[in-house]
Structure 1
């Protein structure tokens, strides 16, 4: 970033998997991404059955337990720091919960969060920290001891309506849009950054590899930690 970029509020940060790379989490579709060079299939809504739920949790358990120990990156903390001087909203495709842990107060988690589980019987939402695992390898609801599922959006499921509504509203009033670490390939979330939805006059694309999807973006080519630290510094 060779010259200063002015950021005016309200500002929306739209973040993807590249945001959390330096925390130790992989991207999904970039170079070396989890689904780029792998036969691994993304978790699907059809996995929420009595027969398949233990296998789903077998896939998620490592990520869930590792996520409890993850710390926000400098990029997460930089976004939180903007709140001291600007109106900020964070619209994230990530499920790691690191934006909230970094101190961001207005976060829309479009794909849910691995920080919580949801009871399959009564819909209770419980924090994952301290959860009891059943003998079948499925976490049990602290309220009623029923099986739970990850509180994330699986492929084939709709996005949370409240998060979608709030994200759309934030996009519609943004003067600055900063897209960080996203491939902009996962819909419907990626549609939020289209100019017809978000008419922000300043549009910044933070990504070390993937080019912006159109010519109305300024490409800040580099790691999220470095680029956002420079934005905070002005």
Structure 2
């Protein structure tokens, strides 16, 4: 089976990666649903919903500022770098649930952030949006219009950014290989992306240290971390 998949991977023209928190874990960024995940320590309803934000914006901002500093101190790992290297040989797109920007920092050029970015802020009222360049003097920070700024991330109960999601559906529906990395795909609508790829006849490979509810529908599942599995997988695809 592996020989057949290897042959198809080498012939692949368009490869789409769907990535989640697992790929960044080895860069020191905690996952959400793993055994040491953030949601085992914190209540997401108090930190990652619009209601929680309006109830206590300072608390929510303090939590996101701590996470942002951790992310800024992290570096891309060999999994991120391997995906970047693959761009030399294939057409590559990344549909990521991560908000850490590590794919871009590794050098990947075609990244769609489905859940937004922790490096970006936006106003709760006007259309202001910008990258965060320094620490805030006060929390919660205020927009020039006088209203509260918020992290530009997707919270529970919110829709994905329409442009990013529409692009993701197109990418998934037109690829011949999809590699699902470090995500259990328990969150909708991102869990539909492999379905779109399968409808196009794509090979779907899962890279995850744990079995997921999607594993049975994969053509191949690699029970390794992204940092360990992806360099070898990329060598297979590039024919190295």
TM-score by length of 2: 0.87
Once the two structures are superposed, the pairs formed by residues 25-44 of structure 1 within 5 Å of their partners are 25-35=29-39, 37-38=40-41, 40-42=43-45, 43-44=48-49
2:215–2:221 contact (8 Å) kept in structure 1 = no
Aligned counterparts of 1:123 and 1:53: Cα–Cα separation in 2: 19
Aligned counterparts of 1:70 and 1:144: Cα–Cα separation in 2: 33
User: Does residue 86 in structure 1 map to residue 90 in structure 2?
Assistant: yes
With over 3 angstroms needed to count, the CA separation of the structure-2 counterparts of 1:39 and 1:150, relative to structure 1, is closer
Of 56, 63, 70, the match for 1:59: 63
Question: Any stretches of 5+ residues in structure 2 without a counterpart?
Answer: none
The Cα RMSD (Å) is: 2.1
1:206 equivalent in structure 2? 207
Once the two structures are superposed, the pairs formed by residues 100-139 of structure 1 within 5 Å of their partners are 100-134=104-138, 137-139=139-141
Give a deviation string over 1:96-115, Cα, whole Å, max 9, x none: 11111111111111100101
Give a deviation string over 1:151-181, Cα, whole Å, max 9, x none: 0000011100000000000001000000000
Deviating above 6 A after TM superposition, structure 1's stretches of 4 or more consecutive aligned residues are none
- 1:121, CA displacement in angstroms? 3.7
Which protein is richer in helix relative to its size? 2
1:174–1:198 contact (8 Å) kept in structure 2 = no
1:47 equivalent in structure 2? 52
Q: Secondary structure at the match of 1:96?
A: coil
Aligned counterparts of 1:14 and 1:60: Cα–Cα separation in 2: 24
User: Does residue 166 in structure 1 map to residue 167 in structure 2?
Assistant: yes
- 1:132, CA displacement in angstroms? 2.9
1:177–1:203 contact (8 Å) kept in structure 2 = yes
1:218 equivalent in structure 2? 220
- 1:45, CA displacement in angstroms? 2.0
Give a deviation string over 1:10-34, Cα, whole Å, max 9, x none: 1100001101011101111123222
- 1:54, CA displacement in angstroms? 1.3
Q: Secondary structure at the match of 1:138?
A: coil
Aligned counterparts of 1:177 and 1:196: Cα–Cα separation in 2: 7
1:131–1:139 contact (8 Å) kept in structure 2 = no
1:179–1:204 contact (8 Å) kept in structure 2 = yes
1:17 equivalent in structure 2? 21
1:227 equivalent in structure 2? 229
